[in-house]
Amino acid sequence: MGFSGCFLVDCRGRSGGLALLWQESVGIKSYSNGHIDCLVHESEKEWRFTGFYGHPKVTMRHFSWEMLHRLKSIAELKDMPWIVGGNFNEICFDSENLCGIRRALRQMQDFRELCELQDLNGTEELFTWDNIRYYNHIIFERLDRFVGNMKWRMLFPAARLISLECYHSDRIPIS
């Protein structure tokens, strides 16, 4: 596939699983069932990337948020540009949910306040997941995203998300 490196975290049953593939120099710092955290060395730039999978159970999701807070502390301590991307299994606003059960306001607020990270914009697809049902039972949500701190945004000011074609999944991949 043209990549010089790969790191995998196995899924548990039908949930989770992460893969990180790279072309530049990458150093894995930590990983779990919910994340892969690494340093990226690219030309003269060094920045932190975290691939993320938020816990699928709402009652357990606070563990995912706590892990991101710890990773944020590391990035801040080292004054590093940082970006997080993946399936957060949560929405920020009601507008990111079409036809599904309404989320509790506190649940969305906890996610918005997560790490004070900013959404990368650019994709024309608002919804990144659907439940692959039809007519009255279909649900669309924006569960997948990339968010970065201000230092990362300043390092890559032209960065934008794009959605990719997908035919056999409940996800619209974003890059």
Angle, in degrees to the nearest 10, between helices 105-112 and 61-77: 20
Low-confidence winner among 55-59, 96-100, 148-152 (lowest mean pLDDT): 96-100
| Bridge partners of residue 107, in order along the sequence | none
Q: Domain boundaries in the chain?
A: 5-155
Taking only the tens place, the pLDDT of each residue in 20-62 is: 888 878 999 999 989 999 999 988 889 999 998 888 888 898 8
Of residues 34 and 140, more confidently modeled: 34
Measured from the Cβ of residue 41, the count of other Cβ atoms closer than 10 Å reads: 13
CA-CA distance, 167 to 156, in Å (whole number)? 30
> What per-residue confidence (pLDDT) applies to 37?
95
Confidence band for 76, pLDDT divided at 50, 70 and 90? confident
| Mean pLDDT, range 131-160, rounded to an integer | 76
**All residues at 6 or more sequence positions from 63 whose CB lies less than 8 Å from its CB, including other chains:** 34, 55
Contact 87, 70 (CB under 8 A): no
Q: Tell me the range of 5-19, 22-36, 121-135 where mean pLDDT is highest.
A: 22-36
Kindly state which CATH superfamily the domain 5-155 is placed in. Endonuclease/exonuclease/phosphatase (3.60.10.10)
pLDDT at 36: 93
46-74: burial string, b at 16+ Cβ within 10 Å, e else = ebbbbbbbbbeeeeebeebbebbeebbee
